[in-house]
Chains A and B, each alone.
Chain A
Amino acid sequence: MKTIKLYFKYLIILLKSQMQYRGSFWLLALGQFLVPFSVFAALYFMFERFGNIKGWNFFEVALCFAVINMAFAVTECFARGFDTFSNLVVSGDFDRLLVRPRSTFLQVLGSKFEFAKLGRLVQSATVLIWDLVNIQVKWDFFKIITLIFMIAGGVFIFTGIFILTATLCFWTVQGLEVANILTDGGREMSQYPLSIYRKWVIRFFTFIIPFGCINYLPLMYILERAEEKRILCMISPLFGILFLVPCLFVWKAGVRHYRSTGS
């Protein structure tokens, strides 16, 4: 579609811009690699000391880690424009977007793509591969699909959260760090199978922000520990994908509000 072609043209100009600063690019990418790497190292050391966490072994938890970090990495790359949307509003550059004959959604997406964030993607991909080699699972076609959906579902959930946070900027640009609870917090929490937490946590992260759909439920399916509702467990990541839809409506409402109250 033409819109996708246009999006790629945005990416190309952003790539050209960032290639001007080649030196800092590698440093930044390294930093982006080290951040999840240090968390993973901590995870490894904790398991070295404690052996398991509430019955889950290291590779099972590492699978959760890899899935959620990959989803986050992909989202950070593509939806960074929404993540840093407060800058666009504060500087008044969002007005510039409104004067162009394209949807604001596309333009915000195309406003930022930090290629250095690929460092995080490399790290989580490495963990995923290492984990797939070591984990005790009999892989079949459906399980692989489930795994892919887990990551895709995560991407959609994180993107949805980014969009919701960005929409908040239309009302206020302060206090937005609370949203980090959902993004960074959600990511750190979902490194572990959600069953290790208290009940209210599990409920919140299954029904309100559906991380459970890409973490505990499909994991049970893959590890063949789901006694009942196996199909539900397998397709649960799709609910994560659906999460994006209401977020888009909220975005539209936010733009409408901005246009009637000004900045």
Chain B
Amino acid sequence: MPEIEVEGLYKRFKVAKRSAGLGQAVKSLFHREYRIIEALNNVSFSIESGEIVGYIGPNGAGKSTTIKIMSGILVPDEGKCCIMGRIPWKERVAHVKNIGVVFGQRSQLWWDVPVIDSFELLRDIYAIPQKEYLENLDLLVSTLELQNIINIPVRQLSLGQRMRCELAASLLHGPKILFLDEPTIGLDAVSKIAVRQFIKRINREKNITVILTTHDMNDIEALASRILLIGKGRILYDGDLDYIRNCFSTHKTITVNFRGNKPQVDTCVAGISGVNVISCSEERILLDVDTRTARVTDVITILSANLDVIDISIDSQPIDELIVKLYREYDI
């Protein structure tokens, strides 16, 4: 029995049409026009306990609608959803005790008071027994390294510190499922890594199911083995990331550091089809290899034969490019 089971979700929204210009504005005083947006169109998937799922798609695809339905905020027009044996919107209070939600852009902490005050009020809101609260608090504080910031008002924290506190706040009541909406947005590299490591750890140690919505593909690469791609309200892909990589990865970048003659380099690779020189300096050359027409090993062999090679590195296409291709493929 999967922990999360979603079947045939449909959701439509009515949005008022607004047009530009003074004439149109006067018109709209008397007559409003609407259009129907199909936010979700037969969305189905299931998630087992302990999975980390990356939920991706372009803006407006239906991600936040799905998350809202799964957290019990929104009621779908049609379809079923069963999370840990409950229907989220029907048993909101009971369901919500088992989930944690982090909205990357909006804070759930009280702005002007020390973090610990927010934590204590959350303890009371969720009616967490004191013993359990202290245990969870200790664990979260040590794992997220909050000791030094827990007594500082939230408004004085940096974005990275705030996000760590948000994560802690969402886990104080020991939920089984965690919804993360853009958790690393705006964070510096160090904080991003800290957040990712934390998520991996709680997933491993406490078997917490994580559903991650993000535009940062590096988050997905670091955390999620499984991807749910949604576009224009439909699930377009449900599987693992490697498959996407293999399907769409068509180029590799070879970086070579060398000693020797530059003109030699130009000539020796000019002949190979599928190989383009991105840049070339006295000591380094960057090549773009189309793996469909040329083989990386062949290129390397030719280069080694002609140059005094110091170092070679081979890079795959950045995941963002792959995702762009993926979106284009599905026309979203």
Query: A: which residues have CB within 8 A of B?
Result: 2, 5-6, 9-10, 13, 16-18, 20-21, 91-93, 95-96, 98-102, 259-262
B-chain residues with CB within 8 Å of residue A16 when the two chains form the complex = 112-113, 117
> CB-defined interface of B258-298 with A at 8 Å, one 1/0 digit per residue?
00000000000000000000000000000000000000000
Cα-based distance from A102 to B93 in the complex (angstroms): 7
Cα-based distance from A91 to B11 in the complex (angstroms): 22
* Known contacts A13-B110, A16-B112, A99-B71; A259/B121 CB under 8 A: no
Considering the complex, give the chain A residue whose CB is closest to the CB of B123: A9
* Known contacts A95-B68, A99-B101, A101-B97; A9/B73 CB under 8 A: no
> Quick check: is B153 within 8 A (CB to CB) of the other chain?
yes
> Quick check: is B99 within 8 A (CB to CB) of the other chain?
yes
> Quick check: is B108 within 8 A (CB to CB) of the other chain?
yes
Considering the complex, give the chain A residue whose CB is closest to the CB of B97: A101
Contact across chains for B93 and A13 when beta carbons are under 8 A apart:
no
Contact of B75 (CB < 8 Å), options: A5, A17, A96, A260: A260
* Known contacts A17-B110, A92-B106, A101-B93; A9/B121 CB under 8 A: yes
A-chain residues with CB within 8 Å of residue B108 when the two chains form the complex = 96
Contact across chains for A261 and B13 when beta carbons are under 8 A apart:
yes
Q: How far is the CB of B41 from chain A (nearest CB, A)?
A: 15
Contact across chains for A17 and B93 when beta carbons are under 8 A apart:
no
Contact of B124 (CB < 8 Å), options: A6, A91, A95: A6
Contact across chains for A13 and B118 when beta carbons are under 8 A apart:
yes
> Quick check: is B111 within 8 A (CB to CB) of the other chain?
yes
Cα-based distance from A92 to B96 in the complex (angstroms): 17
Contact across chains for B125 and A13 when beta carbons are under 8 A apart:
no
Contact of B72 (CB < 8 Å), options: A91, A99, A102: A99
Q: Which of B88-139 contact A (CB under 8 A)?
A: 89, 92-94, 96-97, 99, 101, 103, 106, 108, 110-113, 117-118, 121, 124-127
Contact across chains for A262 and B13 when beta carbons are under 8 A apart:
yes
Contact of B73 (CB < 8 Å), options: A2, A20, A102, A259: A259
> Quick check: is B222 within 8 A (CB to CB) of the other chain?
no
12 new A-B contacts at CB < 8 Å, known A98-B72, A99-B72, A101-B94: A9-B124, A13-B113, A16-B113, A17-B112, A20-B112, A20-B153, A92-B106, A98-B92, A99-B71, A101-B93, A101-B96, A101-B126
Cα-based distance from A21 to B111 in the complex (angstroms): 12
Contact of A93 (CB < 8 Å), options: B13, B75, B106: B106
Chain A-chain B contacts (Cβ-Cβ < 8 Å), number: 71
Contact of A262 (CB < 8 Å), options: B65, B72, B99: B65
Considering the complex, give the chain B residue whose CB is closest to the CB of A92: B106
Contact across chains for A262 and B68 when beta carbons are under 8 A apart:
yes
Interface core residue of B110, B113, B153 (most chain A CB under 10 Å): B113
Considering the complex, give the chain A residue whose CB is closest to the CB of B110: A13
A-chain residues with CB within 8 Å of residue B39 when the two chains form the complex = 262
Cα-based distance from A98 to B65 in the complex (angstroms): 14
Considering the complex, give the chain A residue whose CB is closest to the CB of B77: A260
Cα-based distance from A238 to B172 in the complex (angstroms): 44
A-B contact pairs, 5 of them (CB 8 A): A18-B112, A20-B112, A101-B125, A259-B73, A262-B13
Cα-based distance from A261 to B15 in the complex (angstroms): 11
A-B CB proximity, top 9 nearest: A17-B112, A260-B75, A98-B73, A20-B112, A101-B93, A16-B113, A101-B97, A101-B96, A99-B101
B-chain residues with CB within 8 Å of residue A259 when the two chains form the complex = 73-75, 89
Q: How far is the CB of A80 from chain B (nearest CB, A)?
A: 16
Contact across chains for B125 and A6 when beta carbons are under 8 A apart:
yes
A-chain residues with CB within 8 Å of residue B125 when the two chains form the complex = 6, 100-102
Contact across chains for B117 and A13 when beta carbons are under 8 A apart:
yes
Q: How far is the CB of A149 from chain B (nearest CB, A)?
A: 33
Q: How far is the CB of A263 from chain B (nearest CB, A)?
A: 9
Cα-based distance from A13 to B113 in the complex (angstroms): 7
Cα-based distance from A16 to B113 in the complex (angstroms): 7
Considering the complex, give the chain A residue whose CB is closest to the CB of B96: A101
A-chain residues with CB within 8 Å of residue B117 when the two chains form the complex = 13, 16
> CB-defined interface of B23-66 with A at 8 Å, one 1/0 digit per residue?
00000000000000001000000000000000000000000010
Cα-based distance from A262 to B14 in the complex (angstroms): 10
A-chain residues with CB within 8 Å of residue B124 when the two chains form the complex = 5-6, 9
